[in-house]
Amino acid sequence: MLNHYLKISPEVSKALSEGKPVVALESTIIAHGMPYPKNVETALAVENIVRKNKAIPATIAIIDGKLCAGLSKKEIQHIGKLGQKVVKVSRRDIPFILAQKITGATTVASTMIIAEMARIPIFATGGIGGVHRGAASSMDVSADLQELANTNVAVVSAGAKSILDLKLTLEYLETYGVPVVGFKTDEFPAFYTRKSGLGVDYRVDNVTDLAKAIFTKWDLGLNGGVLIANPILKKYQMKFEPITEAIEKAIQVAEKKEIQGKKITPFLLAKIEKLTKGKSLDANIQLVYNNAKLAAKLAIAYSKQTI
């Protein structure tokens, strides 16, 4: 039945059938995370990084009502040019976007769903969504967290976006049994910076040990994802005080304008980019590159795991 909805590119299909490592990549970062043409350049560069590290990239999106694992260059350019005109798709949106046979950009949550359908266990993104500041009254909690609780995909990210309440995000993940693993770090990274003041559940210093732990989790039947926190490289991270100040200002503006729901994250990222004169976008791009490289290596290590 799923074959009716799922379209896997020939390159990705061949790799999966041969047991080769594949890395899932999201498309919301293309449509809603960066301006054109930087979004397309970054998406293609990320795919090249995965290939250079000897894995196959599978950028995921919904194209003309099909769940697509593996996009062509033309499809990536199409999504990039349309930008925010493309529907942002999370779990709840999938059936409606498919029924209308339109194009949608997948969030972390929906990318995980499609990756699991396609049997791609490793996914690289920038940063996950989480518990928004003020969630005690707004109840604004990203669907990414529930997907991590239920879907068998390991997500490599630079932590959670620092526009969020990181402490509550980690508490939520703990409640639902999602392991938060620091790759070569004891501290949970805060997207633009390596610093958050918060710890991780486990520190792992090599991809082989990480792959073994992920394989063991699922082999035991313990369903749900794993969050791999991979800090932005030191030379690209932003200084803690200036980026914190920019985030606070952006949040204040969003509150004044009463921006909520799907629109909040793209708005805040764009506002922070403006306040930092483009430095936050540069950091965003570099952390995505770093995550793609680690995900490729992890996919290779995971492909070698056996009972």
CA trace torsion 292, 293, 296, 299 (10° rounding):
-90
Confidence of residue 2 (pLDDT cuts 50, 70, 90): low
pLDDT above 80 for 217:
yes
pLDDT above 50 for 183:
yes
CA distance 249 to 271: 9
pLDDT above 90 for 193:
yes
Residue type at position 146: Q
Q: With pLDDT > 90 as the criterion, what percentage of the chain qualifies? A: 78
Tokens of 295: 């995900």
Q: What mean pLDDT comes out for the span 34-43?
A: 94
What is the per-residue pLDDT across 150-160, written as a single tens digit (0 to 9) for each? Answer: 999 999 999 99
Task: Write down the pLDDT at residue 1.
Answer: 44
pLDDT above 80 for 176:
yes
What is the per-residue pLDDT across 65-75, written as a single tens digit (0 to 9) for each? Answer: 999 999 999 99
pLDDT above 50 for 4:
yes
Q: Which fold has domain 2-303?
A: Indigoidine synthase fold (3.40.1790)
CA distance 13 to 149: 27
Quick check: is 7 catalytic? no
Confidence of residue 61 (pLDDT cuts 50, 70, 90): very high
Domain positions in the chain are: 2-303
pLDDT above 90 for 200:
yes
What is the per-residue pLDDT across 97-125, written as a single tens digit (0 to 9) for each? Answer: 999 999 999 999 999 999 999 999 999 99
Tell me the pTM. 0.93
Catalytic option among 7, 161, 271, 297: 161
Task: Write down the pLDDT at residue 307.
Answer: 65
What is the per-residue pLDDT across 289-307, written as a single tens digit (0 to 9) for each? Answer: 999 999 999 999 999 998 6
What is the per-residue pLDDT across 231-290, written as a single tens digit (0 to 9) for each? Answer: 999 999 998 888 888 888 888 888 888 887 767 777 887 888 889 888 988 999 999 999
Q: What is the number of other CB atoms lying within 10 angstroms of the CB of residue 17?
A: 9
Q: What mean pLDDT comes out for the span 166-194?
A: 96
pLDDT above 50 for 87:
yes
Residue type at position 51: R
Tokens of 45: 């560069």
CA distance 211 to 265: 31
Quick check: is 26 catalytic? yes
Q: What is the mean pLDDT of the chain?
A: 93
Tell me how far apart the 2 most distant CA atoms of the chain are, in Å. 55
Q: What mean pLDDT comes out for the span 138-143?
A: 86
Confidence of residue 48 (pLDDT cuts 50, 70, 90): very high
Q: What mean pLDDT comes out for the span 124-143?
A: 86
